[in-house]
Amino acid sequence: MSYPYQIKTFEQYQADYKKSIENPEAFWSAIAENFTWRKKWDKTLEWNFTEPKIEWFKGGKLNITENCLDRHLEKMGNMPAIIWEPNDPEEHHRVLTYRKLYEKVCQFAHVLKTNGVQKGDRVCIYMGMIPELAIAVLACARIGAIHSVIFGGFSAQSIADRLEDAKASFVITCDGAFRGAKDIPLKSVIDDALIGNKTVKRVIVATRTRTPVSMIKGRDVWWEDEIKNVETLGLTDCPAEEMDAEDPLFILYTSGSTGKPKGVVHTCGGYMVYTNYSFVNVFQYQPGQIHFCTADIGWVTGHSYIVYGPLSAGATTLMFEGIPTWPDAGRFWEIVDKYKVNILYTAPTAIRSLMGFGLGPLAGKNLSSLQVLGTVGEPINEEAWHWYDENIGKKKCPIVDTWWQTETGGILISNLAGVTPSKPGWATLPLPGVQVTLVDENGKEIEQGDADIVSGNLCIKAPWPGILRTTYGDHERCRTNYFATYPGMYFTGDGAMRNKEGMYRITGRVDDVLNVSGHRIGTAEVENAINMHAGVVESAVVGYPHEVKGQGIYAFVIYQGSHGQDTHGTGDLVRKDITQTVTRIIGPIAKPDKIQFVSGLPKTRSGKIMRRILRKIAEGETDNLGDTTTLLDPGVVEEIKKGRL
């Protein structure tokens, strides 16, 4: 493969950026020419941010899997597409060449078809990080079914909500998943999620852990049996379904400032072009390199930079089942050494956690294959940036700080490895085609003028091909969430600074969304879960700086009168019970780090909780609470300050 659209110099970046803004249609249409289309598009872009309505490559017909698989077979059939490293380093790894992956995807596509899955059906995938997960995702795409992957750390209740929202008719899961020393019983969680569910017709279960599972007659089937069945039927190649460029490819649920997660919808054509373009340019991928993105496919990072971006570019993508600290904190470095990884893409939280183990785990690991490092998910502090640069990249690897979101499909702001300048803590410049701006609270664009640094709310003025198209089943929600705050613009929910060179530094969410270890969690979601616990009268959740997680979850809870400040005995027990409730309702990722019992919450006279004050207290800035005169009962603040954990 060659990438004629790969930017090689800073001057070319500037020229391409200019072109992309002056004539987005010509710019993206020239890039899209490099893909396999069944039929070319009639119109490159049609859009308005009012409804919103965004259509890229309108009238174009394609299947993304023909771009990820079929088109590589002739020249690269024997090249590794996926290298899979198991949780247990003693277990054998697996390599799937493009030919092998193609065959497996076709075979499983037949399994889906023989089980009644049709184009447009929603298929929920709840699996661990095994090759079958990537195969399931691609098999859905092959037949035009819409996949909705759910991260293995979500609870049965969360899955049930997502199944219902998407009206999913199929589930693909595993008996269990290995993660470090743990063995997570995925099928059993699915069984709980399906109690009372009316839409799911069939559950396909792949074998991984051999954890005992109950298989319900008429509903549950084994992956391996189904494969045997299509083999017996002699079904091999599976022609790809012809998809419209704007047909949905997948749904991915993410948290917002309201209680209910939203199903972000991405479509086939634009998402394909954008993930490929950003992959090739940000990481400066060269054919033959090994790309290791440490994310889980349950998050958008895994969708875009383990599966679709790399595979559409004919790259070798490394998929790791386990966690960075098991069996010890040298696991990432061992993998880099073992497979001679060239590109490592991970999260600041992982870097900070590994930093805590010192340099011991690096001893004896040869990291000289590394050429590019990347980070994603949250702001990276300078200390972590330098540690990564010095000890992992040995000061010879560019670090790309990639800012993006589930909704953006791919990276929007980042330096291009070795091509555009980097700056620790700064995501730097927007990719071509991305018109970033900062606005004040009235939606007025902030001019740079003579200022060294300005700051504001991060917005985007025009569509790029990977932008979300809707939130599943509720377009109005998409409009109000992203396009209504500042009319005519896409609002990211993030705050940012900009320097004179036009570089951006993301400062974090300005809405009620937390970023815990790079995972997005809505405060309202956590509050709803806490409030479900018997005895809880009311709660308020805010974030506070956490050394490893970036942000920790701090909950202020009014608990049935008498237990108020009780910390000996009952208090701790109640804390554990509340934590258990949150784990049940959302999942372990949303567990509060701190629970403070209070007798009241700071409210305005109109009854609104003043989170600003709680945030300050949680951060430890108790001296500087700002104006508290509008509070209904200022006394409550003193009490909360005293009881701070």
Say whether residue 376 binds ligand WT7 (CB under 6 A). yes
Nearest to 567 by CA among 582, 581, 557: 557
Q: Say whether residue 379 binds ligand WT7 (CB under 6 A).
A: yes
Q: Closest CB to ligand WT7 among 42 and 547?
A: 547
d(CA 345, CA 305): 9
Query: How is residue 265 written in tokens?
Result: 């919808």
If the CB atoms of residues 29 and 346 are measured against ligand WT7, the closer one turns out to be: 346
> Residue 341 in 3-state DSSP?
coil
Binding mask 61-80 for ligand WT7 (x = CB under 6 A): --------------------
Interacting positions 456-485 with ligand WT7 (CB under 6 A): none
Contacting residue, 76, 82, 163, 506, with ligand WT7 by CB under 6 A: 506
CB of 425 to ligand WT7, least distance (A): 9
- 108-130 burial code (b ≥16 CB/10 A, e <16): bbbbbbebebeeebbbbbbbbbb
| Residue whose CB is nearest to ligand WT7 in the complex, by number | 406
To ligand WT7, the closest distance from the beta carbon of 398 in angstroms equals: 15
Q: Cα separation of 266 and 133, whole Å? A: 19
**Selected range binding ligand WT7 among 62-70, 100-108, 187-195, 395-403, rule: CB under 6 A:** 395-403
Q: Which is nearer to ligand WT7, 204 or 413 (CB)?
A: 413
CB crowding 139-153: b at 16 or more within 10 Å, else e: bbbbbbbbbbbbbbb
Q: Which residue has the tokens 């599976």?
A: 238
In angstroms, what is the minimal distance from the CB of 555 to ligand WT7? 21
Chosen residue from 135, 372, 412, 427 binding ligand WT7 by CB under 6 A: 427
User: Which amino acid, residue 632?
Assistant: L
The piece of 5-13, 101-109, 350-358, 501-509 that touches ligand WT7 (CB under 6 A) is: 501-509
- What x/- string results for residues 244 through 263 when contact with ligand WT7 is judged by CB under 6 A? ----------x---------
User: What is the amino acid identity at position 574?
Assistant: V
Shortest Å distance, C-beta 212 to ligand WT7: 34
Rounded CA gap, 538 and 553, in Å? 16
State how beta strands 519-522 and 513-516 pair: antiparallel
What minimum distance in Å lies between the beta carbon of 254 and ligand WT7?
5
Give the strand pairing for 220-222 and 53-58: unpaired
Nearer to ligand WT7, 314 or 493 (CB): 493
Q: What crossing angle do the helices spanning 570-585 and 523-531 adopt, rounded to 10°?
A: 120
Our CB check for ligand WT7 shows the closer of 162 and 187 to be 162
Give 262 or 575: the residue with its C-beta nearer to ligand WT7.
Answer: 262
- 């010879």: which residue's tokens? 396
Length of the chain: 645
How many residues belong to the site for ligand WT7 (CB under 6 A)?
A: 22
Fill in the amino acid letter for 448: Q
Q: Name the phi and psi angles at 321, rounded to 5.
A: -75, -25
- Span from 140-148, 176-184, 446-454, 506-514 in contact with ligand WT7 (CB under 6 A): 506-514
Contact string 399-418 vs ligand WT7 (x = CB under 6 A): --xxxxxx------------
| Least distance (Å) between residue 550 CB and ligand WT7 | 9
As measured in angstroms, the least distance from the Cβ of 456 to ligand WT7 is: 15
Contact 45/28 with Cβ under 8 angstroms? yes
Report how far residue 172's alpha carbon sits from residue 136's, in angstroms, rounded to the nearest whole number: 8
Residues 265 to 304: which contact ligand WT7 by CB under 6 A?
300-301
Contacts within 8 Å (CB) and 24+ apart, 136-140? 136/108, 136/172, 137/250, 137/297, 137/303, 137/307, 138/65, 138/68, 138/69, 138/101, 138/105, 138/307, 138/311, 139/105, 139/106, 139/108, 139/109, 139/111, 139/112, 140/112, 140/250
Min dist. Cβ of residue 201 to ligand WT7 (A) = 30
Distance CA 58, CA 29 (A): 11
Q: Which residue from 520, 549, 591, 616 is in contact with ligand WT7, where contact means CB under 6 A? A: 520
Residue number with CB closer to ligand WT7 (404 or 483):
404
Q: Nearer Cβ to ligand WT7, position 263 or 377?
A: 377
Applying CB under 6 A, the residues found at the interface with ligand WT7 are 254, 300-301, 376-379, 401-406, 427, 492-494, 506, 508-509, 515, 520
